[in-house]
Amino acid sequence: MACAAAAVAITVAAEQAGVAAKQPSDLSAVLSRAGNYVVRFEEHLAAIVAEEHYTQRVEGGRATERRDLRSDLLFVRPVGASRYVQFRDVFEVDGQRVRDPDERLAKLAADPSAFSMAEIVAESAQYNIGNIERTINVPLLPLMFLLPDNQPRFRYTVQAGAQRSPVQDVPPPPHFAVATEIWVVEYRETDRPTLVRSVDRKKDVPAHGRFWIEPASGRVLMSELIAEDRAVHSKIVVSYQSEPILDLLVPIEMRETYWRSNDTIRIEGVATYEKFRRLVRR
């Protein structure tokens, strides 16, 4: 994230495995369940579309700037790619229709090779506002850190006082019913290159944060992602909730904040998700 053109982005290439930190056997078991859950999550969500209502605000300057987006959010793996990405197909900006909501989805359903991963990431970010370029503002990105192939890149610890107890330290607002046992698992990326990088992919942006995990099932009820360097900081919190058409917890709300170290301007966003449906392939 260069100071002159500060940015945060998802890297495509960084999937190298590092040396796994030693973990207590019970934490290792929970992480294994969480990893298997995310793998299953990806497989099932690949055919699911959700409608996103996303409000961004830029505050701290001379005037507050706001943008309201309505989009279809699709989880897709482009042909030849090694992982899934989230495709935000914006169909309404500040109340004005910009395209047919089903136009792009129909094309992706008919021909997944029609878009490259770079095109999908760029399309998803084109309507962002503010002075920080970013492509990490998608709700399922933190779950990528729990994939079995990526877990060795991170150091995981159970937050003090949070093991085998109900959730106490939950970023507001909670969107899930507290289970009898939730683990707050802290994570910190230790491998390089990092999974989140500057937009030009020249700088590492190490990630850290927390997952709220149901230890018996590995289900993720909430995630917190903090990605920052000396110039730019970002924080994204996602709440998950059960969805009738899936045996999984789907994102129900994403809250985000971005700011520069030397600036009073803050970019804040809130996105909510509804109308989950299966993508019909013709």
Query: In the prediction, which pLDDT does 239 show?
Result: 95
d(CA 102, CA 280): 11
For residue 4, what pLDDT is reported? 35
User: Tokens representing 13?
Assistant: 């290439």
Nearest partner of 76 among 86, 68, 67, 66, judged by Cα: 86
Judging by beta carbons within 10 Å of its beta carbon (0-12, 13-18, 19+), is residue 182 exposed, middle or buried?
Answer: buried
> Which stretches of the chain are DSSP H helices?
25-45, 103-110, 117-125
pLDDT score of 157: 95
Are 212 and 167 contacting, i.e. CB atoms less than 8 angstroms apart? yes
Q: What confidence score (pLDDT) does residue 244 get?
A: 76
pLDDT of residue 181: 81
Single-letter residue type at 262: N
Exposure letters 196-226 (e unless 16+ CB within 10 A, then b): bbbbeeebbbbbbbbbbbbbeebbbbbbbbb
User: pLDDT tens, position by position, for the chain (282 residues)?
Assistant: 433 334 555 443 333 333 334 444 599 999 999 999 999 888 888 778 899 999 999 998 777 899 999 998 888 766 666 667 788 888 999 999 988 766 666 676 666 666 665 676 677 788 999 988 888 888 999 999 999 999 999 999 997 655 444 444 454 444 445 545 889 999 999 999 999 987 767 789 999 999 999 999 999 999 999 999 888 899 999 999 988 777 788 999 999 999 999 888 999 999 999 998 887 655
Rounded CA separation 232/37 (Å): 32
List all residues 6 or more positions away from 167 whose beta carbon is below 8 Å from its beta carbon. Answer: 174, 178, 182, 184, 212, 221
Which pLDDT score, from 0 to 100, does residue 190 have?
A: 96
- Backbone φ and ψ of 195, nearest 5°: -75, -35
Amino acid at 229: D
The string of DSSP letters for 84-106 reads: -EEEEEEEEETTEE-S-TTHHHH
| CA 172 – CA 276 distance, rounded (Å) | 23
Residue of 165, 139, 153, 144 lying closest to 34 (CA atoms) = 144
User: For the whole model, what pTM was predicted?
Assistant: 0.82
Question: Which residues are 184's β-sheet partners?
Answer: 212
